[in-house]
């Protein structure tokens, strides 16, 4: 029965419960009029029949005079609400009443919207606009596209309802979460292991006074006295302090996500969050950082990185760019891939829910094996360990 009603609603109109009741009463009055030949029964049945005809014609005709425009949807972070805004224009010289608008959302968003994507409108005036908005929670990152808005009208009496679909494309981006890291040894200690090798004095970058100096600047309260360049200070008559290159030794930081490998769904979502968090932490530390995925290659810039991470999926077959032959921070679920990363690299390794017996065979590159029992933010701030 529901299929039949939907068929007639989308092509012409279908009676509501009240329409069925009035139709039954009209038939009864008309039958009584034939039997009794009473004029007043003919009048009642005629008026009722006229109401039914008008109520069946007007809903579909009123929908033809409506147009809808969707405003651009601002990007949000996973867990926040998407704000979807519409503007409906009544192009006719008559009011449109008893209107229902439903935005046909993608399945992932539709399961979370409950009934928020439906909006009832009592009346839209002639030659006027009507604006409204609704919110839908976006729990998962991704690029979302949908195209259909459904109008349903029962004007003017609600006896018959007609439904029509309008093409109104929508595009929204849900960025992955970015964890607020206060420290991250995975990035902070890049370059320390090589600079300390064979040097019993510790890190030469912290000890050196020549060759690594970038510039001189005026002394600020709290600067170490050992950084004062006395010869230049004497020349200018004020204290001048040396500034050194960053601890990375001028190397770019490349965060590489193994998007071509096999992943558990939960692990891959965590890896995307980790990649975004590491990128923004490195940006906050004023480092030259880039993101690499299998289908995009190297990407730089806050918006570009977030859009790339929002769109990325595992098991990507298309290879646009090879992995850079540079030290990287490698995010993967496959321990075998650790053997192929370059010296000076770091890694984050997720354990699959159904672990296979595989050995981490890169003993030179330090990294972190992530656990499901501990928060990701806490683990990203841990000290590093070596491959086993």
Q: How confident is the model at residue 201 (pLDDT cuts 50, 70, 90)?
A: very low
Q: How confident is the model at residue 320 (pLDDT cuts 50, 70, 90)?
A: low
pLDDT over threshold 50, residue 170:
yes
pLDDT tens-place string over residues 26-56: 999 999 999 988 899 999 999 999 999 999 9
What is the model's pLDDT at position 199?
45
Alpha carbon separation from 300 to 28, 39, 210, 280, 281 (Å, rounded)? 75, 84, 32, 11, 14
What is the model's pLDDT at position 326?
80
pLDDT tens-place string over residues 264-319: 999 999 999 999 999 999 998 888 899 999 888 899 999 999 999 999 998 765 55
Q: How confident is the model at residue 169 (pLDDT cuts 50, 70, 90)?
A: very high
pLDDT over threshold 60, residue 89:
yes
Helix (H, G, I), strand (E, B) or coil at 279: helix
pLDDT tens-place string over residues 102-154: 999 988 887 666 667 889 999 999 999 999 999 999 989 999 999 999 999 99
Distance CA 218, CA 133 (A): 54
User: Among 36-45, 163-172, 245-254, 330-339, where is mean pLDDT lowest?
Assistant: 245-254
- The answer as to CATH 2.170.130.10 being correct for domain 1-175 is no
Contact status, residue 367 vs residue 344, Cβ threshold 8 Å: no
pLDDT tens-place string over residues 212-239: 555 788 887 766 676 788 888 888 888 8
Distance CA 248, CA 329 (A): 13
Average pLDDT over residues 184-208: 56
pLDDT tens-place string over residues 355-382: 665 555 555 678 888 888 889 999 998 8
Q: How far is CA 106 from the centre of its chain?
A: 13
What is the model's pLDDT at position 114?
61
What is the model's pLDDT at position 205?
42
Contact status, residue 62 vs residue 164, Cβ threshold 8 Å: no
* Beta strand 346-350 pairing with 328-332: parallel
Q: Where are the domains of the chain?
A: 1-175, 204-246, 253-386
């Amino acid at each position: 029965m529901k299929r039949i009603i939907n068929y007639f609603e989308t092509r012409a109109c279908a009676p509501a419960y009240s329409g069925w009741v009035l139709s039954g009463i009209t038939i009864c009055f008309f039958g009584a009029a034939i039997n009794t030949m009473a004029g007043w029964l003919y009048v009642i049945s005629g008026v009722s029949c006229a109401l039914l005809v008008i109520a069946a014609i007007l809903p579909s005709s009123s929908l033809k005079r409506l147009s809808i425009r969707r405003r651009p949807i601002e990007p949000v972070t996973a867990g926040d609400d998407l704000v979807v805004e519409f503007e409906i224009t009544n192009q006719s010289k008559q009011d449109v009443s008893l209107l229902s608008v439903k935005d046909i959302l993608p399945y992932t968003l539709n399961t979370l919207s409950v009934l928020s994507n439906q909006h009832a409108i009592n009346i839209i005036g002639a030659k006027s606009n009507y604006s409204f908005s609704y919110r839908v929670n976006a729990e998962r990152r991704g690029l979302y596209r949908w195209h259909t808005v459904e109008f349903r009208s029962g004007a003017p009496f609600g006896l018959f309802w007609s439904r029509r679909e309008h093409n109104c494309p929508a595009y929204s981006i849900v960025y992955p979460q970015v964890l607020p890291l206060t420290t991250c040894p995975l990035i902070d200690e890049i370059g320390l292991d090589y600079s300390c090798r064979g040097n019993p004095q510790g890190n030469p970058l912290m000890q050196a006074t020549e060759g690594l100096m970038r510039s001189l600047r005026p002394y600020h309260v709290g600067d170490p006295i050992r950084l004062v360049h006395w010869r230049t200070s004497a020349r200018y008559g004020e204290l001048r302090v040396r500034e050194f290159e960053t601890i990375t030794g001028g190397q770019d930081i490349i965060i590489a996500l193994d998007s071509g490998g096999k992943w558990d769904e939960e692990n891959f979502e965590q890896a995307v969050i980790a990649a975004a968090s590491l990128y923004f932490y490195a940006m906050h530390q004023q480092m030259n950082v880039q993101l690499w995925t299998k289908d995009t290659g190297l990407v730089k810039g806050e918006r570009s990185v977030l859009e790339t991470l929002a769109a990325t999926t595992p098991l990507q077959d298309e290879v646009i760019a090879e992995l850079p032959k540079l030290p990287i921070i490698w995010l993967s679920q496959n321990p075998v891939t650790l053997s192929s990363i370059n010296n000076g690299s770091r890694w984050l390794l997720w354990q699959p829910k159904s672990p296979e017996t595989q050995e981490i065979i890169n003993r030179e590159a330090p990294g972190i094996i992530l656990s499901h029992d501990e928060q990701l933010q806490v683990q990203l701030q841990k000290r590093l360990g070596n491959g086993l």
